Amino acid sequence: MTLLAMRGIDKAFLGVPVLSSVDLTVEPGEVHALVGENGAGKSTLMKILAGVHTADAGTIELGGRAVSFTHPLQAQQAGVASVFQEFNLLPELTVAENVHLGREPRRRGMIDRRAMAERTAAVLADLGVDDLPPQAKVGSLSVAHQQITEIAKALSQGADLICMDEPTAALADAEVELLYGLIGRLRERGVAVLYVSHRLKEIFDLCDRITVLKDGRLVDSVATADITPDDLVAKMVGRRIEAQFPERLPGTEPGEVRLKVAGGGNAWIDGIDLEVRAGEIVGLAGLQGSGRTEIAEAVFGIAPFTRGSLEVDGKPMRITKPRKAIAAGIALVTEDRKAQGLALWQSVRANARMVLDANARVHSRRRLARVSELLAGLDLVARGEDQEVRFLSGGNQQKVVVAKWLAAEPGVIVLDEPTRGIDVGAKHKLYTVIRELAAEGLAVLLIASELIEVIGLADRIVVLHDGRIAGELPAGATEQQVMAYATGRGPE
């Protein structure tokens, strides 16, 4: 019997249709991907299933029984659990207390903490997790262990279907492997997983079937084995993207060294020798915690180098704060755009002018006049420049961040996870922009956890391990070669 059947689902906000006649079915024990560009309606459909929103039209059946949820508690009681990007956990409570919140076992009218810990340990053991103490405070846990706590909570509630929204967005590579194993065990138990992700590799690794939404409508529902990644992208964006990574533009050749670090080090990294030339894209690869972001922060003066030397366009520099980096022509697109890159409650215009307005050395009328041109060139989709950034999709927010830095006309741009959490169409646009920046003579330092991005774009790949450079590889290197250096094994 089909576990979930959503049929003819409609939803509009303030008269604007978000979902139109959408169907979705999920079988017991199935890992089912829900994909589409940002704004396709994925999150709204999941929130209707979770009881956060109510559908305007359509029906929902669970296990053949008609249901209608007006509150998340009703969905939980019916066997539907959701693990969103922002976890619903109380950091000051223990794992066991979070797992049983509102359902604490009692003995003689008092909370039975021993029973609560034992039940939590049993659920974790069932998931194959042996390194998460039930007594640990959730606030002290890694993101991966917080996610495991959410999954354990769902299982303890008797969930038959777990909805996961971008579950690997903040996970390190090793933690992603852990999640793969957890999902495999859920499948073996007959628990279905509705999986939302922009990462095609995960979808093809994990999922049995894929449902594609575009502009709030159902495009297709297909077995994963019956579709290729290229065909899936074409369904998601409404057109075929012939090459995932654009070719180097004609006439783009590395020129003079624009950024040079010799023997750079601080408390987190050491012995960093690095050069990036005009017109060159240098990729920084390595496992989480290897020192990639630490190099970006040192170059930009957030956590400055305390050893070694740094030169920009052949001039020795001592970059001790971001303001000095900006004056030297260095830009940094941070990995967390919402916390570090944007003022979410301000307008597109205010955000795009932020670097110019805050730094007298790069402020000029000419540069201010180019802001609208830069936003248009990035194909920004917004109501207008007066729209608050918080209402834009992730991909369009990232375009505003990039425009903010390009307005200052830097010579060196550091891109830390520039495509994290954005859809395939927006990714392809940013890949094209990165190529164009190199063609215009910028030195580009690219950091990405997805090796395919580094391999697909970089002219050279510098691999880090344990805070040091482990090796360097040319364009066209394989994932195996990169990982050999990243794990400390050496060249293959």
CATH homologous superfamily, domain 4-237: P-loop containing nucleotide triphosphate hydrolases (3.40.50.300)
d(CA 130, CA 199): 28
**Overall pTM surpassing 0.95 (yes/no):** no
The pLDDT, as a whole number, for residue 49 is: 94
User: Looking at the predicted structure, is the pLDDT value of residue 242 above 60?
Assistant: no
Summarised one tens digit per residue, pLDDT across range 419-442 is 887 777 778 888 999 999 999 999
**Percent of the chain residues topping a pLDDT of 70:** 97
CA 256 to chain centre: 34
Q: Where in the chain is the domain with CATH 3.40.50.300?
A: 4-237, 257-486
356-to-319, 330, 367, 406 alpha-carbon distances in Å = 19, 13, 8, 10
Top-confidence residue, 40 or 421:
40
d(CA 381, CA 393): 9
Please give the average per-residue pLDDT across 113-135, as a whole number.
86
Cα angle: 67, vertex 68, 74; to 5 degrees: 90
Q: Choose the most confident range, by mean pLDDT, from 45-49, 128-132, 418-422.
A: 45-49
Instruction: Specify the residue for token string 């502009």.
Output: 215
Contact (Cβ atoms closer than 8 angstroms) between residue 89 and residue 146? yes
CATH homologous superfamily, domain 257-486: P-loop containing nucleotide triphosphate hydrolases (3.40.50.300)
Residue 194: both structure tokens together: 């509705």
